[in-house]
């Protein structure tokens, strides 16, 4: 069985869609409909797995069918369930792209080597990715644009990110 650290969240069930057992699925994959290519999808504890058939794109997600779900009641019971795949089932990325899960928890240092904190989350509100930093030296979380100018170095092997934040941000 895969350990939770080896699982990457690729979607979340938002509830039933209609009365025939279809579900509304929020896909977190770069190409939303490609989520079906990673099946079977697992629940976080690995107790259930599902094959996915995408019916069509809908508002705020996809209408999908999952194996073993054929009624509205079964679909409603899965609302809020997150779906995962083993890390090794995801494609490898080019050198300048990263999975959000790989960035969370990394140490963040400035260009002078001072530890600023760690990546708490990766957010995207439509204008590009933001790294949310938190640490003992920060009064509150700080959002950094995840651009090459602000984040010149991501070293996954060393577990750290080097940042050059705009003047006055930190």
Over 50: is that where the pLDDT of 3 sits?
Answer: no
Last residue of a domain, one of 89, 109, 130: 89
Residue 112 falls inside a structural domain = yes
- How many whole angstroms separate alpha carbon 26 and alpha carbon 14? 7
Domain of residue 157, CATH code:
2.30.30.240
In this prediction, residue 1 carries a pLDDT of 41
More confident residue, 1 or 162: 162
Same domain, 72 and 113: no
Predicted confidence (pLDDT) at residue 75 exceeds the cutoff of 60: yes
For the whole prediction, is pTM greater than 0.75?
Answer: no
Give the chain's domain count: 2
CATH number (domain holding residue 18): 2.40.30.60
For residues 78 and 116, membership in a common domain is answered with: no
3-class SS at 118? strand
Name the domain boundary from 68, 89, 110.
89
Distance CA 162, CA 115 (A): 9
Question: Considering the domain boundaries, does residue 118 fall inside one?
Answer: yes
Same domain, 51 and 126: no
Q: How much is the CA Rg of the chain, to the nearest whole Å?
A: 19
Among 60, 89, 118, where does a domain finish? Answer: 89
Same domain, 78 and 124: no
Surface-to-core class of residue 100, CB atoms within 10 Å of its CB (0-12 exposed, 13-18 middle, 19+ buried) = middle
> Whole domain around residue 127: which residue ranges?
100-163
Q: Which helix (H) or strand (E) holds 74?
A: helix 72-77
Report if residue 20 sits inside a domain. yes
Catalogue the E-assigned strands of the chain. 7-16, 23-27, 41-43, 49-50, 52-58, 61-66, 82-86, 107-110, 115-124, 129-134, 142-145, 153-155, 160-163
In a domain, 151, yes or no: yes
Contact 121, 132 (CB under 8 A): yes
Give the pLDDT confidence of 96-148 residue by residue, as tens digits: 888 888 899 999 999 999 899 999 998 887 778 899 999 887 888 999 999 98
**Residue 157 tokens, joined:** 């092997």
């Amino acid at each position: 069985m895969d350990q939770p650290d080896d699982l990457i969240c690729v979607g979340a069930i938002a509830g039933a869609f209609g009365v025939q057992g279809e579900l509304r699925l929020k896909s977190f994959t770069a190409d939303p409909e490609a989520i079906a290519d990673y099946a079977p999808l697992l629940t976080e504890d690995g107790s259930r797995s599902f094959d996915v058939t995408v019916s069509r794109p809908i508002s705020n997600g996809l209408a999908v069918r999952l194996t073993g779900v054929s009624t509205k009641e079964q679909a409603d019971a899965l609302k809020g369930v997150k779906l995962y795949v083993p890390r090794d089932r995801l494609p490898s990325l080019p050198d300048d792209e990263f999975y959000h899960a790989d960035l969370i928890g990394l140490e963040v240092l400035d260009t002078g080597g001072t530890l600023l904190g760690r990546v708490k989350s990766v957010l995207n509100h439509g204008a590009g990715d933001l790294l949310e930093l938190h640490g003992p030296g920060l009064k509150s979380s700080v959002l950094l644009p995840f651009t090459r100018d602000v984040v010149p170095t991501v070293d996954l092997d060393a577990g750290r990110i080097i940042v050059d934040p705009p003047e006055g941000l930190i």
